[in-house]
């Protein structure tokens, strides 16, 4: 190895290297196999994600945390957990998209390559412990998802949603960069631990530091679609291909959460009183508005978009608490949320197939009469209904305990509002979801997702 890259660096970034190579191979195979069976491309892509997943699991047995590339990339249990979630999500979405791409005549090589590179970006974000590597991972994921969201080039809704996402994403990137610049100007370093040491020695009321905190919170709020930075998400979900939406909900949004938690808890622990209150307000607004607006939707993809917004509010409870218990709750809830959300969008893909043939009720009844599909349908619907109640109890039980201590110290009665809102919102949103899936489908309900 050269003096710039050591064997340890390659070993610690082996999953990312494998995903990169797989994406390049799929892109070249897509050119060679153009017009042929795209199942080979899905198989190669799936082989790459499963191989990367095995490498991530193997890294769990290393002595952690381990740092690569001079402190830019860190392998620890926190990053490993999120990488497992991202790779599992990508693997499931590859399977969901095989028939979808065939039915719409889309280029499988480009699609799978972009999906793999977007997954690479999420993995880099999870391991980023420096503002530079964080930004590289963020933009790697963002650029790929911009293209994926506009993959249906001849569909007007798809183009509109992708354009809104591109404009809002570019704006949020500028906000994040401005916050990073201010943070670097204050601390004199881009390393998160170095920033934490500088913050600990400086004035907590320094206006530059407070402005950097607000800008980073706003920028990451755009990336995870927290209220009031969520306006682009429903249109983007409605227009984008459904497998891409599943990836956005099950991986891209959670990548933003993983970075947000690491940056604020690792780089700015001395400002926890300030950003803890900020995230508490964002959490309550996000979970409340997301669920209330979801009730009024008559389009299932827009309803799931607002459900995603609400779940981002639940996840923001973790950093609002700002403790190890809060981080543990975020990890548990992220895994449950990713699995159930991708399952829900898988059912949306099945429901939309009948409308393309102009036989929605016949198609739905046909697969309901199939015992295997009926079992899968009941499993997904039952899991979606039960998951929030279980996850709220088990996933946020540590948050509830931590909140009781924080209640006495900082937040007073306000923390109770988050718990009450979560319970009531879960009742409303999942009652609506069951109603949409169980009642006879009216004409036009799923028209926007016919493609």
Tens of pLDDT along 108-138? 888 999 999 999 999 999 999 999 999 999 9
Q: Measured on CA atoms in the order 418, 424, 428, 434, is the torsion positive or negative?
A: positive
Identify the pLDDT of residue 435.
44
Predicted confidence (pLDDT) per residue in 376-414, tens digit:
555 555 555 555 555 544 444 444 444 433 333 333 333
Q: What is the largest CA-CA distance in the chain?
A: 68
- Predicted confidence at residue 294, as pLDDT, reads 85
In this prediction, the residues of the chain whose per-residue pLDDT falls under 70 are: 1-3, 35-38, 63-64, 201-205, 352-451
At residue 37, the pLDDT reads: 65
Closest CA to 113 of 21, 197, 50, 184: 21
Alpha-carbon dihedral 142, 144, 15, 46, rounded to 10 degrees? 140
Tell me the pLDDT of the chain averaged across its residues: 78
At residue 1, the pLDDT reads: 53
- Name every residue whose Cβ is closer than 8 Å to that of residue 25 and which is 6 or more positions away in sequence: 44, 48
């Amino acid at each position: 190895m050269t003096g710039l890259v050591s064997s340890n660096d390659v070993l610690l970034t082996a999953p990312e290297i494998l995903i990169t190579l797989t994406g390049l191979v799929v892109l070249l195979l897509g050119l060679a196999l153009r017009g042929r069976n795209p199942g080979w491309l899905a198989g190669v892509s799936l082989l790459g994600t499963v191989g990367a997943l095995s490498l991530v699991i193997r890294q769990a047995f290393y002595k952690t945390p381990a740092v690569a590339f001079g402190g830019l990339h860190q392998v620890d249990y926190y990053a490993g957990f999120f990488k497992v979630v991202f790779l599992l999500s990508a693997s499931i979405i590859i399977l969901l998209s095989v028939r979808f791409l065939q039915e719409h005549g889309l280029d499988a090589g480009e699609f799978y390559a972009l999906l793999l590179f977007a997954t690479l970006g999420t993995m880099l974000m999870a391991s980023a412990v420096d503002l530079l590597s964080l930004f590289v991972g963020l933009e790697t994921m963002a650029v790929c998802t911009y293209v994926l969201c506009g993959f249906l080039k001849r569909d007007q809704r798809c183009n509109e949603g992708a354009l809104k996402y591109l404009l809002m994403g570019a704006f949020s990137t500028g906000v994040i960069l401005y916050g990073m610049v201010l943070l670097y100007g204050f601390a004199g370093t881009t390393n998160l631990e170095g920033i934490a040491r500088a913050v600990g020695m400086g004035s907590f009321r320094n206006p530059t530091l407070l402005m950097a905190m607000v800008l980073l919170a706003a920028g990451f709020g755009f990336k995870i679609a927290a209220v009031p930075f969520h306006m682009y998400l429903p249109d983007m979900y409605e227009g984008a291909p459904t497998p891409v939406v599943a990836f956005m909900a099950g991986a891209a949004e959670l990548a933003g959460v993983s970075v947000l938690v690491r940056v604020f808890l690792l780089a700015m622990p001395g400002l926890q009183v300030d950003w803890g209150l900020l995230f508490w307000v964002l959490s309550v607004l996000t979970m409340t508005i997301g669920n209330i607006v979801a009730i009024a939707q008559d389009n299932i993809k827009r309803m799931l978009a607002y459900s995603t917004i609400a779940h981002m509010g639940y996840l923001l409870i973790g950093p609002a608490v700002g403790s190890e218990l809060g981080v543990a709750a975020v990890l548990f809830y992220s895994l449950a949320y990713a699995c159930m959300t991708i399952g829900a969008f898988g059912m949306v893909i099945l429901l939309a197939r009948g409308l393309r043939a102009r036989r929605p009720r016949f198609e739905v009844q046909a697969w309901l009469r199939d015992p295997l599909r009926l079992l899968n349908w009941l499993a997904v619907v039952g899991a979606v209904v039960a998951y929030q109640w279980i996850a709220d109890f088990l996933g946020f039980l540590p948050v509830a305990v931590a909140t009781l201590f924080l209640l006495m110290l900082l937040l007073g009665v306000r923390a109770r509002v988050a718990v009450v809102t979560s319970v009531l919102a879960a009742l409303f949103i999942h009652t609506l979801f069951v109603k949409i899936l169980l009642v006879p489908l009216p004409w036009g309900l799923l028209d926007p997702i016919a493609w």
